[in-house]
Amino acid sequence: MQISNTKTIFMPLFESGWHTRSVLEGISKHFSPRSIHIATLPSEIETLGKYVKKWDCAPVYFYDENSFFADNKLSKKLICDRLKNINDQYQPGWFYQQLLKLGCLRVLPALSDWTLIWDSDLIPIKAWRGEINNSPAYALLQHKSKLNKKIVSFWEQWIDEFLSVSPVHDSEATFIPHHMWFYRPAIDSLLSHLEHGNSKHWLEIMIDSVETHETFSEYWMVASWMAEHYPELFKYHPYSVAGNSTERFFDDGSGKLSNHFKLWYKTNFSNDFPKFPSYNTLLNFLTFAYTEKGDALPSSLSLEFSRRHINKAEGNRHLEELRSRWIVRKNDIEKLGISLS
C-alpha cells in the first residue's frame, strides 16, 4: 500500500493518547514514509520523545507549535487570541491546526514536495493504496448525507470568494477525509493567490476571513484548488473503497473501544495496560472483536475526543458514527464511567 519511502507525513498533534502509537505505526506500515513530522506542544514533545524511538515507525521529528510561524512574527497565542476575539463559536485551536497543515510545506524544507497530511486521531486499519497510477491518492472517508448544510455553505462561499475556483464535489462523499496529499507547488500557488494584490500575509488573510465567513475547510479548499489547477494530479479513491467501512466515534481512553480493548488485554496478557499499546496489539484485538461476529475489519477508525459527540442528536451524527459498533451514546456514560465534567 506504500506510495514511496521518499515521501513524508506531517501531523498536527493537539494531545497524545492511547491511540498515538497505533497511528504512527499504522501510517508507517501502510504508507512507508521516509519520516514523520509532528507539530505539537513542548510538553508532548518531551513525553513522546522518550517513546517514539522504540516504536515500529518511521523516524519522527517534532516542532514546537507555539512558534511554528515564528518567521512571520505570529505565535500560536497571538493567532488564537485573534481568532477568539473574532468568533467564539469555534475553538481557536481547531483553526490553528488547519493553519499548521496549510503552512507546513512553506515552513519546513525537510518535507517532501508530496507530503501526506494526517489527522492525529485517524488510525488506518485495512487502509487503502496511497497511489493511483503512480500518483499520490487519498481516500474519501466521510459521506455527504449527514453534513450541516449551513456550515457547508460557509465553506463553499469561502472557496469561491477567496480562491476564485468552484468547490469540487463528489457524488457520494465530502472532501474532508481527515488526511490528504499536499503538493508543494500547488499549496504555494494557493497561498500566493491569497496574497496577490493584498498587503497582508496569507495567515492574516485566513484569520480575517473568519470574521466574514465564520469558518473554512483546509482539505476542501486544497482539493478544489487541485481540481482546478492541477487536474492531472488530482487523484482520490471513491467512498466505496474505504469510506464504506470506516468508523467514527468518541474515545478519549474511556470509550467503548478502549474498555473492550483493556478487558481483552487483561484476559490475554496482564492487568497492566500499556500507556501506548502497539499497532500490532490493537490489530490483534480488532481481529478478535470483528471476526468473532463474522465481520470484516474497517478501513480506519476516526476518534473523537470532545464529549459533545456523546450528546449529539441522532439526526446530526455522521453515517460513519451511526454504523460504528463503538459509538458512545448518553445511556453508555454511567456504564463506561465517563466523566462529563
Instruction: Indicate the DSSP class of residue 331.
Output: G
Q: How confident is the model at residue 340 (pLDDT cuts 50, 70, 90)?
A: low
For the chain, the average pLDDT equals 94
- What distances in angstroms separate CA 338 from CA 14, 17, 314, 325, one per listed residue? 21, 16, 19, 18
Task: Check residue 315 and give its pLDDT.
Answer: 84
The answer to whether 221 and 206 are in contact (CB under 8 A) is: no
At the topology level of CATH, where does 1-341 sit?
Spore Coat Polysaccharide Biosynthesis Protein SpsA; Chain A (3.90.550)
The answer to whether 104 and 3 are in contact (CB under 8 A) is: no
Find the helix or strand (DSSP H, E) in which 189 lies: helix 184-195
Q: How confident is the model at residue 146 (pLDDT cuts 50, 70, 90)?
A: confident
Segment 168-189 shows an average pLDDT of 98
Segment 168-172 shows an average pLDDT of 97
Residue holding cell 454504523? 323
Please list, residue by residue across 269-304, b when 16 or more beta carbons sit within 10 angstroms of its beta carbon and e when fewer do: eeeebeebbebebbbebbeebeeeeeeebbbbbbbb
Lowest mean pLDDT among 26-30, 102-106, 279-283, 312-316: 312-316
Segment 172-181 shows an average pLDDT of 98
Three-class secondary structure of residue 276 per DSSP: coil
Q: How confident is the model at residue 293 (pLDDT cuts 50, 70, 90)?
A: confident
Instruction: Indicate the DSSP class of residue 335.
Output: H
Contacts of range 76-82, beta carbons closer than 8 Å, 24 or more positions apart: 79/203, 79/207, 82/207
Q: Which residues contact 14 (CB under 8 A, 6 or more apart)?
A: 40, 93, 97, 120, 305
Task: Check residue 1 and give its pLDDT.
Answer: 40
- Please check the confidence at residue 3 and state whether its pLDDT lies above 80: no
Task: Check residue 72 and give its pLDDT.
Answer: 80
Residue holding cell 497511528? 23
Nearest CA among 86, 68, 33, 300 for reference residue 206: 86
The answer to whether 116 and 33 are in contact (CB under 8 A) is: yes
Tell me the residue type at 147.
Answer: L
Query: Taking the domains of the chain in order of start, what are their residue ranges?
Result: 1-341
Task: Check residue 331 and give its pLDDT.
Answer: 81
329 phi/psi in degrees, rounded to 5: -115, 175
Beta-strand relationship, 300-304 and 247-250 = parallel
Cα(13)–Cα(179) distance, rounded to whole angstroms?
13
Nearest CA among 246, 270, 242 for reference residue 326: 246
Half-sphere exposure of 183 (CA within 13 A, CB side): 20
Question: pTM for the whole thing?
Answer: 0.95
Share of the chain above pLDDT 70, in %: 97
Task: Check residue 5 and give its pLDDT.
Answer: 66
